[in-house]
Amino acid sequence: MLLLSPPKVTNDAARAVKRAASLPAQPVTTETLSQLLGLPGMTVTRFALEQQGEAEYLHLFCTHQHDVAICPRCGAAMTGGYDHKDRCVRHLAVWGQRTLVHFVQRRFDCDVCGRPFTENLAWLEPQRRQTRAYETYIYQQVQQSTRQDVAHQEGLHEATVLDIFKRAAQRATSQPRRAMVRVLGVDEISLRKNHEQYALVLSDLEHRCVIAVLPERTKTAFEQWLDNLAAAERQAIRVVSMDMWNPYRQAVRAKLSHAQIVADRFHVMKHLTHQIDLLRRALQKKADPALYALLKGQRWLLIKNRQDLKPDEEATLRQILAASAELRVLYLLKEEFRTICERIQDKAQAERFLRAWMWKATATGSRYLRRFVQTLRHWWPEFLNYFLARQSRGIDQAARASGSVRPVCQ
């Protein structure tokens, strides 16, 4: 009979003394602590211990590191002016204790697409009571045991364990695990209203979450951030969607020459609607009292999609357009431009329609439309790229063909 020798047991703690000297250790900060806990974008400010029968609970009270969120529809960065509600979700056990994360769920108003949204959190799926990491853990446990045992061990209802298992299994089979950012969003945002205080917001547009907020909205700050990425991380970025500021474009061309630059159509529309609002304000200044009252405070009415107007808003809009022929022309061309962006899927077809639109806009003689057409021409190749990737509408097709993505939003 062949006797098998017992497996060799490695005294890992003892050997770790020698290995520790060569490890790239990082100082413990609020950011690194969030990384260790698997809560990117959050800062743990307080904790509390609680005994519930035989189970011990650790409560982690967190705040958001950045007062910024990414709109899930248009990808624009927004700050301030949000509603909130207190939430608590289950997380991976810490120190052998069942862990609950307390935080504020924030709701923002998007200034670009004009709709409210609840922010996406990298570590939590919408409307879930368990973090992504905890759901993955439950999925792994059920594979090794029974649902009943896992439910008893974790203090969960068996139906909850089954629901978590199904969701995690679907994610595991339908999506490859991504590790690097493929679609980078570059935007700038005002930190304080009516103050010249801006920040540069970098985001993962596939997951609609913030990667970093740089205190300076400069080309130098952006290039330094790109330089700090590993070579593989830079190579993984296939698409960069940005607001139309030339220094950002120059930085991408210098540091990410392989990446496709997309002038996001929501930001392009923002430039067009800004010109409409400039005309509205100019008309308002020299208007008689009746027209002044009609135009005052109607910015959102003029930039809102016409199909989304309520009956009373449509009635007011008709009065405004009847009162100013110039404003009516700009508004109708704005709606036509939006329709082109939303309905046309082919780049070549989009180019034909947009060239015809620019001819009509220039023919009006409007200095407001002329300024917008000049901006559009300056960003012509980048805007046409939108019709290839359609980055604002979801995960772009060009990035699908590239490698993995950076784990900043997982």
Give this prediction's pTM.
Answer: 0.67
CA 52 to chain centroid, in Å, comes to: 38
Are 190 and 338 in a shared domain? yes
Are 257 and 366 in a shared domain? yes
Structural domain contains residue 10: no
Are 325 and 372 in a shared domain? yes
Structural domain contains residue 6: no
C-alpha to C-alpha distances, 338 to 270, 307, 325, 335, 366, nearest whole angstrom: 11, 11, 20, 5, 19
pLDDT by 10s per residue, the chain, length 410: 445 555 554 556 667 667 777 777 777 776 777 778 888 888 999 999 999 888 899 999 999 888 888 888 777 888 776 778 899 999 999 988 999 999 999 988 887 777 788 888 888 988 899 999 999 899 889 888 888 998 999 999 999 989 988 888 877 766 555 568 899 999 888 766 555 667 898 998 888 888 888 888 899 999 999 999 989 999 999 999 998 889 999 999 999 999 999 998 888 998 999 999 999 999 999 888 888 889 998 888 998 888 888 999 999 999 999 999 999 999 999 999 999 998 998 899 999 999 999 999 999 999 999 999 999 999 999 999 999 866 443 333 333 333 333 334 54
Structural domain contains residue 21: no
Phi, psi torsion values for 239, nearest 5 degrees: -135, 135
Q: Per the structure block, which two tokens stand in for 280?
A: 């509205």
Structural domain contains residue 9: no
Are 215 and 285 in a shared domain? yes
Q: Are 164 and 391 in contact (CB under 8 A)?
A: no
Choosing from 95, 120, 145, the residue where a domain stops is: 120
- Strand 198-204 vs strand 183-190: parallel, antiparallel, or unpaired? antiparallel
Are 141 and 109 in a shared domain? no
**Domain tally for the chain?**
3
Structural domain contains residue 26: no
Which residue reads 């939006």 in tokens?
338
| Burial of residue 11 (number of CB atoms within 10 Å: 0-12, 13-18, 19+) | exposed
**Nearby residues of 93 by Cβ (< 8 Å), 6 or more positions away:** 99
Are 250 and 111 in a shared domain? no
Integer Cα distance of 386 and 205 in angstroms = 14
Choosing from 120, 153, 187, the residue where a domain stops is: 120
Are 235 and 312 in a shared domain? yes
What is the extent of the structural domain holding 137?
A: 130-175
Q: Are 224 and 214 in contact (CB under 8 A)?
A: no
Choosing from 120, 139, 163, the residue where a domain stops is: 120
Structural domain contains residue 315: yes
Integer Cα distance of 109 and 71 in angstroms = 9
Are 262 and 350 in a shared domain? yes
**DSSP alpha helix (H) spans, 96-215:** 132-144, 147-154, 158-174
Are 303 and 407 in a shared domain? yes
Instruction: Count Cα neighbours of 54 within 13 Å in the Cβ-side half-sphere.
Output: 4
Integer Cα distance of 109 and 99 in angstroms = 32
Structural domain contains residue 1: no
Are 71 and 220 in a shared domain? no
Q: Is the dihedral of CA 83, 86, 90, 92 positive or negative?
A: positive
